[in-house]
Amino acid sequence: MGFEAPPPSGRLVFASDVQATAILPAVADDISLPSVTIPSAAIPTGASISRVLAAVAWRKQVNSDSSANAIVAAQNIQVRSDAPGTWRNAINVADNALETAADATEGGSMLQGDNDIKVEVVGPDTYEFQWASAAVDAASLTLYDVQTYLILEYS
C-alpha cells in the first residue's frame, strides 16, 4: 500500500500588462481594459478550478472637469474568453463610486469582484476585460496605469 498525495489546492493570481489609460466617458460606452493570459502550464495537473474572481487596479484617477465626478448608476466590469466567449459580470461598481472632486487628481484604487466567473474562465486562455456601459456624471474621468487580474482558486 503506497502513499497517495492529496490533490493540489491553492490560489493563483494572473495579471495583465499595464494599459496607460482608461477613460470613463460622460456618455455610456463599453471601455476596453487590458486582457489577462493564463499560460498553458500554470494550473497544476489534476487541479480543478473551484472559483475565479476578477480585479482591476489603477495608479491615479484624474477629473479634468470643473464639477465633481463619479460613476453614474450601477455598472459592471466584465470578463470573457477571447474565443470569444460570453461577457460575464465580474465586478459590480456602485452608483457614485470613484467620487472625485472638481479638477482633481486622486490616488488610484483596486476593485475586486465577488462574482464567481469560473463558468467562463475554465483554464489556459486569454481573457478580455471591459467596463460595460461605463459612464460618469461630468466630463470624462481618466484612470492611469490600469491593470487587470484573475484570481483562480483550485483544489
CATH of the domain at 39: 2.60.120
Residue 60 has a pLDDT of: 98
Query: Does residue 5 sit within a domain?
Result: no
Q: Regarding beta strands 141-154 and 75-81, do their DSSP bridges make them parallel or antiparallel, or are they unpaired?
A: unpaired
CB 155 within 8 A of CB 48: yes
Query: Does residue 3 sit within a domain?
Result: no
Query: Does residue 110 sit within a domain?
Result: yes
CB 56 within 8 A of CB 111: yes
Element (H, E) at 32: strand 29-38
Residue 34 has φ and ψ, to the nearest 5°, of: -65, 145
Residue 104 has a pLDDT of: 97
The number of angstroms, rounded, from the C-alpha of 77 to the middle of its chain's C-alpha atoms is 6
Q: What DSSP character marks residue 71?
A: B
Per-residue tens of pLDDT for the chain, all 155 residues: 566 666 668 999 999 999 999 999 999 999 999 999 999 999 998 899 999 999 999 999 999 999 999 999 999 999 999 999 999 999 999 999 999 999 999 999 999 999 999 999 999 999 999 999 999 999 889 999 999 999 999 99
